[in-house]
């Protein structure tokens, strides 16, 4: 199978390329390298293109045949989306429409879409399943929800088969330390905690300690990046036998507070991790924990990483060898 990975030079995309490449898929990476890393493209050809540049998209598809597309390209910073919503709607919605148009012109009718738990907004249940009310509280989540609606309409109008996978908090790195999580700026908790442990990052900030949670800090569900990759591969097979647009939540079903993550990292690294409490960030809900029962039941997804400490440890192995 020939798969085009849009955003395949980024964190999740590069792990996806590795996963597919090691399993015999023909992988092509499309990325504008604005947030991705050229050195992370170790599996398959790299095409430098931008979803907002229709001409570059056309060049990427010309002369190549793809059985399916996986779409990881997105602006994804919650706070930034609140401050700069136009950029988020342009990149995440208009860019996706351009990609869908290119796919249709070139006869590619299967898409796995990288969605997010941010489509739900403030949870009204302890575990969030696919039918939970969707009321995003920031433009990032709203832009992803718009794409989910577009995919449903595309299934009806054009016969597009799609699977939208709503990640909760992606975390971890490949066990061989070959690739890992690297953003500029880095906003995700686990890499920032580990960089603080190494003394290579800015002072660690805990954004808010007055939430209605057991220790006052936000609670999140962390899912290993390789478990996400497994779900994407299963989604390809799912589309072989299921028409239409489908959505699945991906998480481990357990919530860990910011302070619990810091304590877990302290145990993994063996060192103290200094931090300071800062004001809440706009658009952050207090708790986000997934129910992934539908993915387990219908996709046959079996996450291998079910505990927080091994997830942190896999990231720690990668961060220790980075030239910070």
**Average pLDDT along the chain, 324 residues, taken 10 residues at a time:** 96 94 96 88 93 96 96 89 95 98 97 96 90 94 98 98 95 81 72 87 88 94 95 98 98 93 95 92 83 97 92 90 66
Residue 144 to residue 140: CA distance in whole angstroms:
7
Q: Note whether residue 258 is domain-resident.
A: yes
DSSP assigned state of 281:
P
Cβ atoms 115, 150 nearer than 8 A: no
- CATH code of 302's domain: 3.90.25.10
Helices (H), 169-246: 189-198, 225-241
Instruction: Answer yes or no: do 155 and 22 share one domain.
Output: yes
User: How many Å separate Cα 132 from the centre of its chain?
Assistant: 20
222 among known catalytic residues? no
User: Which helix H or strand E contains 101, and what residues bound it?
Assistant: helix 95-105
Last residue of a domain, one of 233, 250, 267: 250
Instruction: Answer yes or no: do 267 and 138 share one domain.
Output: no
Q: Note whether residue 179 is domain-resident.
A: no
Instruction: Answer yes or no: do 122 and 241 share one domain.
Output: yes
Catalytic residue among 11, 25, 88, 140: 140
Instruction: Answer yes or no: do 15 and 134 share one domain.
Output: yes
Instruction: Answer yes or no: do 98 and 206 share one domain.
Output: no
Cβ atoms 306, 167 nearer than 8 A: no
Instruction: Answer yes or no: do 137 and 13 share one domain.
Output: yes
Q: Note whether residue 39 is domain-resident.
A: yes
**Which sign does the torsion angle of CA 198, 201, 204, 207 carry?**
negative
Instruction: Answer yes or no: do 216 and 308 share one domain.
Output: yes
User: In this structure, what token pair is assigned to residue 201?
Assistant: 């990052």
Instruction: Answer yes or no: do 100 and 167 share one domain.
Output: yes
> How many domains is the chain built from?
2
Q: Note whether residue 181 is domain-resident.
A: no
Find the distance separating the first CA and the last CA of the chain, reported in whole Å.
38
- CATH code of 108's domain: 3.40.50.720
Residue 276 to residue 274: CA distance in whole angstroms:
7
- What pTM was computed for the model? 0.93
User: How many Å separate Cα 224 from the centre of its chain?
Assistant: 10
Q: Note whether residue 180 is domain-resident.
A: no
Q: Note whether residue 183 is domain-resident.
A: no
Q: Note whether residue 198 is domain-resident.
A: yes
pLDDT of 200: 77
Q: How many beta carbons lie within 10 A of that of residue 297, not counting itself?
A: 10
Instruction: Answer yes or no: do 235 and 267 share one domain.
Output: no
Residue 147 to residue 57: CA distance in whole angstroms:
18
pLDDT of 183: 57
Pairing of strands 275-278, 204-207: parallel
Residue 261 to residue 312: CA distance in whole angstroms:
8
Instruction: Answer yes or no: do 301 and 229 share one domain.
Output: no
Instruction: Answer yes or no: do 51 and 119 share one domain.
Output: yes
Cβ atoms 34, 51 nearer than 8 A: no
Cβ atoms 159, 109 nearer than 8 A: yes
Residue 181 to residue 171: CA distance in whole angstroms:
8
**Residue 130 belongs to domain spanning:** 2-171+223-250
Instruction: Answer yes or no: do 129 and 104 share one domain.
Output: yes
pLDDT of 271: 87
Q: Note whether residue 177 is domain-resident.
A: no
User: In this structure, what token pair is assigned to residue 56?
Assistant: 């570059």
């Amino acid at each position: 199978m020939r798969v085009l990975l849009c955003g395949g030079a980024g964190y999740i995309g590069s792990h996806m390329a590795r996963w597919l490449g090691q399993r015999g898929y023909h992988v092509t990476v499309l990325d504008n390298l604005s947030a991705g890393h050229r050195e992370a493209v170790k599996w398959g050809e790299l095409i430098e293109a931008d979803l907002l540049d229709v001409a570059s998209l056309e060049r990427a598809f010309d002369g190549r045949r793809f059985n399916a597309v996986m779409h990881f390209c997105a602006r994804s910073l919650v706070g930034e989306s609140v401050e700069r919503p136009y950029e988020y709607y342009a990149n995440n919605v208009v860019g996706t429409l351009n990609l869908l148009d290119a796919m249709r012109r070139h006869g590619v009718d299967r898409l796995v879409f990288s969605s997010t738990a941010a489509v739900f907004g403030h949870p009204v249940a302890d575990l969030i399943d696919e039918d939970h009310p969707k009321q995003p509280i920031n433009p990032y989540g709203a832009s992803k929800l718009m794409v989910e609606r577009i995919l449903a309409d595309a299934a009806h109008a054009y016969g597009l088969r799609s699977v939208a996978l709503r990640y909760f908090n992606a975390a971890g790195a490949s066990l061989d330390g070959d690739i890992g999580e690297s953003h500029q700026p880095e906003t995700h908790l686990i890499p920032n905690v580990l960089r603080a442990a190494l003394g290579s990052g800015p002072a660690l900030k805990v954004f808010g300690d007055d939430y209605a949670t057991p220790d006052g800090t936000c609670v999140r569900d962390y899912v290993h990046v390789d478990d996400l990759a497994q779900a994407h591969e299963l989604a390809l097979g799912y589309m072989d036998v299921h028409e239409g647009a489908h959505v699945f939540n991906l998480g481990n079903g357990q919530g860990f507070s910011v302070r619990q993550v810091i304590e877990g990292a302290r145990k993994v690294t063996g060192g103290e991790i200094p931090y300071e409490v800062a004001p809440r960030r706009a658009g952050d809900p207090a708790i986000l924990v997934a129910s992934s029962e539908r993915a387990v039941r219908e996709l046959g997804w079996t996450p291998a990483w079910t505990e927080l400490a091994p997830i942190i440890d896999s990231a720690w192995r990668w961060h220790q060898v980075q030239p910070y």
